[in-house]
Structure 1
Amino acid sequence: MTEFDFDAPTVIRTKRDGGVLSDAAIDWVIENYTSGVVADEQMSALLMAIFLRGMTPGEIARWTAAMIDSGDRFDFGDLRRDGKPLRLVDKHSTGGVGDKITIPLVPVVMACGAAVPQAAGRGLGHTGGTLDKLEAISGFTAELSKDRIRQQLQDLGAAIFAAGDLAPADRKIYALRDVTATTESLPLIASSVMSKKLAEGAQALVLDTKVGRGAFLTSEDEARRLAATMVELGWASGVDTRAVLTDMDRPLGLTVGNAVEVAESLDVLAGGGPEDVVEITVTLAREMLDAVGADGVDPAQTLRDGTAMDRFRDLVEAQGGDLSVPLPIGAHTETVTAPRGGTMGDIDAMAVGLAVWRLGAGRSTPGGRVQFGAGVRMHRRPGDPVVAGEPLFTLYTDTPERFSGALAELDGGWSVGAEAPEVRPLIIDRITRGGNP
């Protein structure tokens, strides 16, 4: 295609007016946005048009393929351990509040004998990013070369890395979505997730598809469609792909932020931690191990006996991290106390996620810096007894002027009442090829 075959205004107009983008148009716009010919303003307009008008399955598949083709595609099929090919499996979450699962999950899967090439992302909107969390560990780097990733997979069984040369088009679009209110789009979520995951060389993929108030898709029907779309995209590329629908009405665990979530993950790896974080970690580990036929070890046992913690320490050390250095915590705190006694009601995941973003744990401009020590600690879970005047939430930040905005987001996102709220199951459903559980 030449620069004269298409132009950005025409592509934008086609989607704005509800039209279907041709394969050639999609290839052109992805290639030229990656190279800088299509401007951020133009891609922002196209993303909003897609957000409002949607995409056909054919458009989603082509958009995903074009983003994969914008960069490298890893192949680790030649790697061996004990004379046998590595069993390569990855996991991806569609984004949640307090979703720290990758941090304990990767070492659990390592301890069970599989290998994890984990391309991870940064925060997006009100949801945190695995890389932002892990970089709160002193010295930790996710900027790994392809050779370094290969060596870690061979020697340790895992690498957690920034996508780098994988789907560079998605890296640019991902950052733009974060600051243009276009995150909650099924086609853009599906193509973003699968472009990176299909390029990273795993044989199998498990998708943690979030649904609820704190998820990008709050409707269960939409979340099911997203899961089914991603599963089909995976199988079409020869990757065993399955999805688990999990609840995101409430935050996961008791902490939301960067360093505070790392600390909670260390509690899980030490055999403790919140029950919901442990449940999802073990559930996803079992799915990952089943997908590559490495289900001879109980994932829960690796948390109890310390082997998962050992693997995490090895992984952090290999990537330059030093767990002996205390994790950062915001220099300023604000406490929300119970106005009355009773029972803790619902805690709205979206309200907490936005509060943490206001405290500085997320970004308001592409490439902006995050505060590793910003976050929220919840002292009570829905259904817990509450005494008047006791702490319910502690907010952390290095910039105290952020407290007013964060408290405003949190206001109305929780309650104390006479009865415990209804709690739906954490694991809602399982989606395999064909969209059926």
Structure 2
Amino acid sequence: MNEAAGSSAFPEIRVPAALTFGGLVLGIALGIAVQGNAAAAEWVNVAEKIGDLWLTALKLTILPLVIGLVFTGISQTLAAAGGGALARRAVVLFMVVLLASGLMASLLVPALLEIAPIPVRAAEALSGGAVDTGAVPGFFEILSAMFPDNIFAAASGGAMLPVVVFTALFAVAATQIAEAPRQQLRALFEGLAMAMMVVVGWVLMLAPIGVFGLAVSLGAKTGADAIGGLAHYILVVSAAGAVVLIAAYVLAMTLGGQRPLAFARAMVPVHAVAISTQSSLASLPAMLAASHRLGVRDSTADFVLPLAVAIFRATSPAMNLGVALYVAYLTGTPITLWAIGAGILVAFLVSLSSVSLPGTLSFIVSVGPIAMAMGIPIEPLALLVAVEMLPDIMRTLGNVTMNVAVTSTVDRGSRS
């Protein structure tokens, strides 16, 4: 998710993704090497406690950061929608694509996991063998959770769904007040988000150590079984992003009026930059050039593409909800239709708030609230984040392709 881009006011945070991945590999290898060694048991236990401490610190940062980002992201989106007919057309199409992205994942990922289930030993390895057999919440339980008696009590209890919904409603309500207090509120929440991003960045700088500690324990307990589970996870989640990529081509050819081969040729240099940088922002010049070659008016491309890079990440609901659903299957957590609906809603709202963040940081910020809203354990995310650099390539490819497809569609619609 390194490809997301947002306000330049947000601090630049560098997270050692390669080192985190290296910590995972080294930790599993070391754990396998000492498996069954009684003399090393105490050291494995220490490594596990270090990993658990890092995971606890990470969980503490999610709620305040999400509050700041959701308010800021929705404020930016609503402000963009008020920027004229072209902006409204673009924002409406953004929202339709995001909702469709989440809905698609809610159908695709469970189907894939039924066709190609998570290997039993791999599931036991990544989940620690724990299975959630708690009560399955129904419609009224989900609805009641969205509107608690006390929002502060809900927040202190880590209830993510009501907090995200309340923050979204609060951001919408803020658009109806006078300019001065509205700007003060926006500055307050943006400042909260910026400060928390720095704190989360500090925690994630320790990710190689935390992931290494968890991986040592994982390798010592399960051997090489976890490796197969991680590979399975990468393929399933990347498949959700691949569908968004394919949908971008379909959109460009239908509503965008583009010829298939012409669109594919124009996207080649864009994809080259996207794969090498994993950044939509870095791919912006290539996207502008591709739009020009496709006959999109400069006035449309110069407005819609930067807006898309700032507030639109087509693969986010699909892949983030896909991760949450994968973890639900991994841990045996029962999921109802209403819980999936809550997940789609939170995935949609959070996708509007994922400003320019490194992949590992955005992974936690985006997937954590979805999983928490659906009642899914987030502990496995501490290991899955270590391999995020691989699915992140698909995220970027899907995002940049959909950005150009949406721009073509908006341009064609504004001509009529």
Q: Same fold (TM over 0.5)?
A: no
Query: TM-score, normalized by length of structure 1?
Result: 0.21
Query: TM-score, normalized by length of structure 2?
Result: 0.22
Greater percentage in strand: 1
Of the two structures, which has the highest relative contact order with CA contacts closer than 8 Å and spacing of 6 or more?
A: 2
